[in-house]
Amino acid sequence: MKIKSRLQCSDTTFIICISLFITLFQNTRFLTKGWDIVGFDSLRALLFSASMLALLFCCLNVIFSLLLLPYLRKSVAIIFILTGAVINYFMYSFNIVIDANMTDNALQTNLNETLDLVSIKMVLWIVCLGIIPSIIVAITQITPTQSIKKFITFKAINIIASTLAIVFIAFFFYRDYAPFFRNNKDMMKMLVPSNAVASLIKNISDGIEARKPFETIGLDAKKGEKITGQPKKTLVILVLGETARAENFSLGGYQRDTNPLLSKRSNLTYFDNVSSCGTATAVSLPCMFSNMTRKDYSAIEAKHQENVLDILQRANVSVLWRDNDSGCKGACDRVPNQNSTRLMLPEFCSDGACKDEILLDKLDDYIQKLDNDGIIVLHQMGSHGPTYYQRYPAAQRKFDPTCDTKQIQDCDKVKLVNTYDNSIVYTDYILDKTISLLEKNSDKFATSMIYVSDHGESLGENGMYLHGAPYAIAPSQQTHVPMMIWTSDDYRNSQKLNQDCLSKEAKQNTFSHDNLFHSLLGIFDIQTNQYKPELDMFRSCRQ
């Protein structure tokens, strides 16, 4: 009773203590791993390492101030403490991280499997860092605040103070945090208790999504007379750029010559004003192939319905997807697809990654055997960061000196931009080579190449790096993307496409990923109720 009577504190003190305990004792895996990565070899590294501790505490303090409310705070705190103790034990003992798959495995583990994991070390760990702290929380008396007004005031002060500290840290260390988490994605899965909560929510969400029926669209799709009556079949190669931003394309007015080959091409039209659907591949890729606009886009809907490639395939257009990036994000699940990276051809690949030229390897053999209208999608590695220096071969190293490290925030702006621009120069080479491949097959097909990037990239502007910013606040560097189309003479004739009109439209009008779905249907003259002519970016220039 004496011990219990001595354990008294205010609501604010209770929340601060819980936040501090979970920061210091249940996030040690995150902190020690982070400090090992950052090091302490410079003053900035030392300050950045210290900021991790402060930032984590402040974030937890804000969250617990909102969650640990009277009558529930002890119970909720005990749940977090016990869960955190178990999670931290497994992360330390087995060098694992907690994600949706791990949580799913845990939920499906039977009694015998659970008993196999129990050890003296585990029991002592959970007792010392879970049960004893929980008992202390349970017997601690929280002194009531004199009035509701004071309770709200103290809570507001605590939240505001922590929020200001978070803003302060973000202002000075954003350029360190962005590449840190980008280069070390597993770090987020070490954060307690957010890793367990996020994983559990993901498991529940996946379970709900799994029950959603799959929807077929464009069942009425068929080719129109405009394409079936042509002497040559139509072949389109759609190249999906990765992390290419319009700001660094000389075709769009960039002062540096990053498009030395394409700039010499005739019948090539560059679109000046094109915006992406998202700021990350996982959003933009399924979005641009769906029948939804960015405004109405739903990732769940896109996952459970067909896209434009399904419609084209249903209308007897041959479809092939080749990937040299992180996969098609569901866009190619029901059409023939190839993961070029898995081939690991030594002439194109090293250290687990491949140069984009692998996408063209033996593609001519496929085209030679093709006897139908077709679309080939090539998904580039492009300018994927932060290791821009690994995206191009030495022959395309046009700008020096370069930033040959993934710690891009440590490079000066000149080196960083040089490296990124070299990746654009290599994309220029790949696109030019793609056009040459189409020209080689012009006796058999009416050919065209379309290029569009999935999203852009920040290169240190206003302290921002990489991409993935919320769209509402994303800078133009992440949303303004390059897009172009090259057309053969036969293609323009078969499409009755006016080149002068197209050039004018490309300069004066604005377009987006919203246009791709309907433009592809228009190119292959697909008659379907899914087609919206007002979103077909080429329709107004067809005579």
Residue of 235, 250, 218, 222 whose CA lies nearest to 378: 235
Q: What is the arithmetic mean of pLDDT over 1-5? A: 54
Lowest-confidence pick of 178-182, 249-253, 306-310, 508-512? 178-182
Domain ranges of the chain: 2-210, 238-541
Which ranges of 41-147 would DSSP assign to H, the alpha helix?
43-67, 73-94, 100-107, 111-117, 120-126, 132-139
- pTM comes to 0.77
Tokens at 220, concatenated: 């009425």
Q: Is the bond preceding residue 213 a cis peptide, omega within 30 degrees?
A: no
Q: Tens digit of pLDDT for each residue in 460-497?
A: 898 888 888 888 888 999 999 999 999 999 999 999 99
In this prediction, residue 108 has a pLDDT band, given cuts at 50, 70 and 90, of low
pLDDT score of 205: 79
Identify the helix (H) or strand (E) that includes residue 449: strand 445-453
Q: Tens digit of pLDDT for each residue in 291-349?
A: 999 999 998 899 999 999 999 999 999 999 999 998 999 999 999 999 998 888 999 99
Torsional sign, CA 494, 338, 391, 457: positive
pLDDT score of 528: 98
- More reliable by pLDDT, 504 or 8: 504
Per DSSP, which regions of 307-358 are E strands?
Answer: 318-323, 337-339, 349-350, 353-354
Lowest-confidence pick of 95-109, 503-517, 529-543? 95-109
pLDDT above 60 (res 110)? no
pLDDT score of 319: 99
- The answer to whether 315 and 222 have CB atoms below 8 angstroms apart is yes
Residue 477, judged by CB atoms within 10 A of its CB (0-12, 13-18, 19+), counts as buried
Q: What is the arithmetic mean of pLDDT over 444-451? A: 98
In this prediction, residue 435 has a pLDDT band, given cuts at 50, 70 and 90, of very high
How many Cβ atoms sit within 10 Å of the Cβ of residue 136? 15
pLDDT score of 389: 94
Q: What is the arithmetic mean of pLDDT over 428-441? A: 98
pLDDT above 80 (res 102)? no
Q: Tens digit of pLDDT for each residue in 174-218?
A: 888 888 888 887 788 888 988 888 888 877 877 777 678 999 999
Q: Tens digit of pLDDT for each residue in 41-84?
A: 889 999 999 999 999 999 999 999 998 888 889 999 999 999 99
Average pLDDT, the chain: 91
pLDDT score of 114: 65
pLDDT score of 186: 79
Q: Tens digit of pLDDT for each residue in 391-415?
A: 999 999 999 999 998 888 889 999 9
Proportion of the chain in helix, strand, coil states, percent, rounded to 5? 55, 10, 30
Lowest-confidence pick of 9-13, 15-19, 67-71, 384-388? 67-71
In this prediction, residue 97 has a pLDDT band, given cuts at 50, 70 and 90, of confident
- Give the CATH fold of the 238-541 domain: Alkaline Phosphatase, subunit A (3.40.720)
How many Cβ atoms sit within 10 Å of the Cβ of residue 154? 17
- The answer to whether 221 and 527 have CB atoms below 8 angstroms apart is yes
- More reliable by pLDDT, 114 or 318: 318
Q: What is the arithmetic mean of pLDDT over 218-238? A: 96
In this prediction, residue 3 has a pLDDT band, given cuts at 50, 70 and 90, of low
Q: What is the arithmetic mean of pLDDT over 522-540? A: 97
pLDDT above 50 (res 1)? no
| Cα angle 260, 263, 266; round to 5 | 140
pLDDT above 90 (res 99)? no
How many Cβ atoms sit within 10 Å of the Cβ of residue 177? 17
Residue length of the chain: 543
**d(Cα 513, Cα 383) in Å, to the nearest integer?**
19
